Amino acid sequence: MVLISSKLKDRPTSKVGNIAHRKLVLESISAFLTEEKMDKQNSKGGFSLSSLPRPRWNVVDMITFIGKSSVPTYLFIDVDMTWVEEVRAQLKTMGSKVTVTAILLKAIAIAQRAHPDSRTASLPWGRTVTFNDIVAGFTVERYIGEQPAVFFGAIKNPDTKSVEEIASELKQYSEAEMDAIEHLDRQNNFNNMPWLFRRIILWLGLRYPAVRLKYLGATFGMSSIGKWGAKALIPPCVSTSTFGIGEIEQRAVVRDGKIVVRPMMTITLNFDHRIIDGGPAARFVGDVKRLLEGGLENYMHMDTSELNTKKLSLDTALTS
């Protein structure tokens, strides 16, 4: 740029001079870019340009298109996971390997049943839609060729399923072939669609509930990074209620006036403030906490048919 300005310090004012001036500017810029290109080729510390890998388009669309209109607001809460770890140990002795994620999805789903605002979405022109059936959304990392990619899994009605059933579905999402799971296969095909076509579908999903249920059906989202040792996560607001899950770690806490060590986990709720206010959101995540600290036991011994028939409220589960 110093070269350009030094050559142009005596800027001509005539029409012919202006044409020569513009030509000189273009030639100088071209020479500068050519020199930069040669420097990059000859330097080991240069940079490389590439297109965004197709497998990433799915998550990028969700963040930039679905989440951009929300008003993300955050709540953090620490949960004592003693009861959850004891339940997992008991189930393991009976031959059932249940992950923390399975128990989390069930607890959040039961709490969401009692908090309809948490499963309400915003529509254009001041309208909202509340979804009646709970659908748990969660991130799934898979490889497409050698490229890691994040997909969004979905489990319908986790509030009425046993934790063993939820754990089984989670295992399928992580281990089965992509084309064997309809939800993942649809997203993978969606990645390979033209940009405009994908945006049209997303646009329709934000405006028409029936389209949303088919392509964006989750009533809450959850992303867990605890297995990599991260303490907490603030997830993007891709639904009205999106949870970030940290690791379970031993922490010193106060119980009955004494300092004790307990397995603790931090949960982050990213909620859309257009739909939920701070108080209702705090009550929602507070109910999730109470379920994970023992309230969920009221649901552990009911079979699926009983849950489907009664649809017990959260208050009944916590007080019975």
Residues 9, 99 within the same domain: no
Nearest to 248 by CA among 269, 227, 268, 234: 227
In a domain, 291, yes or no: yes
Residues 145, 267 within the same domain: yes
Residues 15, 110 within the same domain: no
Residues 10, 148 within the same domain: no
| Amino acid in the structure at residue 102 | A
Query: Residue 110's pLDDT is what?
Result: 96
In a domain, 49, yes or no: no
Count of Cβ atoms closer than 10 Å to residue 188 Cβ: 19
Domain containing residue 34: 2-42
In a domain, 129, yes or no: yes
Nearest to 75 by CA among 274, 237, 240, 234: 234
In contact, 219 and 239? CB cutoff 8 Å: yes
Residues 130, 194 within the same domain: yes
In a domain, 219, yes or no: yes
Residues 34, 61 within the same domain: no
Residues 158, 300 within the same domain: yes
Query: Residue 247's pLDDT is what?
Result: 93
Query: Residue 166's pLDDT is what?
Result: 95
Q: SS3 of 256, please?
A: coil
Q: What CATH number did the domain enclosing 72 receive?
A: 3.30.559.10
Query: Residue 45's pLDDT is what?
Result: 60
Nearest to 250 by CA among 234, 261, 241: 261
In a domain, 12, yes or no: yes
In a domain, 34, yes or no: yes
Q: What does the alpha-carbon distance between residue 149 and residue 114 come to, in Å, rounded to a whole number?
A: 34
In a domain, 47, yes or no: no
DSSP 72-102: EEEEEEEEE-HHHHHHHHHHHHTT----HHH
In contact, 20 and 12? CB cutoff 8 Å: yes
138 burial via Cβ count (<10 Å: 0-12, 13-18, 19+) = buried
Q: What does the alpha-carbon distance between residue 91 and residue 247 come to, in Å, rounded to a whole number?
A: 21
Query: Residue 85's pLDDT is what?
Result: 95
pLDDT in tens, 228-244: 888 888 888 888 999 99
Residue numbers in the chain where pLDDT is lower than 70: 1-45, 301-320
- Which residues fall within 8 angstroms of residue 102, CB to CB, at 6 or more apart? 163, 164, 166, 167, 170
Q: What does the alpha-carbon distance between residue 239 and residue 137 come to, in Å, rounded to a whole number?
A: 9
- Give ∠ CA 263-154-52 in degrees, rounded to 5: 95
Residues 99, 220 within the same domain: yes
Residues 280, 180 within the same domain: yes
Q: What does the alpha-carbon distance between residue 33 and residue 37 come to, in Å, rounded to a whole number?
A: 6
Residues 247, 149 within the same domain: yes
Residues 112, 9 within the same domain: no
Number of domains in the chain: 2
Q: What does the alpha-carbon distance between residue 256 and residue 32 come to, in Å, rounded to a whole number?
A: 71
Residues 36, 127 within the same domain: no
Q: What does the alpha-carbon distance between residue 218 and residue 213 come to, in Å, rounded to a whole number?
A: 8
Distances (CA, A) of 266 to 61, 215, 237, 241, 293: 28, 30, 18, 16, 13
- Helices 100-113 & 82-93 angle (0-180, nearest 10): 120
**pTM of the model as a whole:** 0.78
Q: What does the alpha-carbon distance between residue 90 and residue 107 come to, in Å, rounded to a whole number?
A: 18
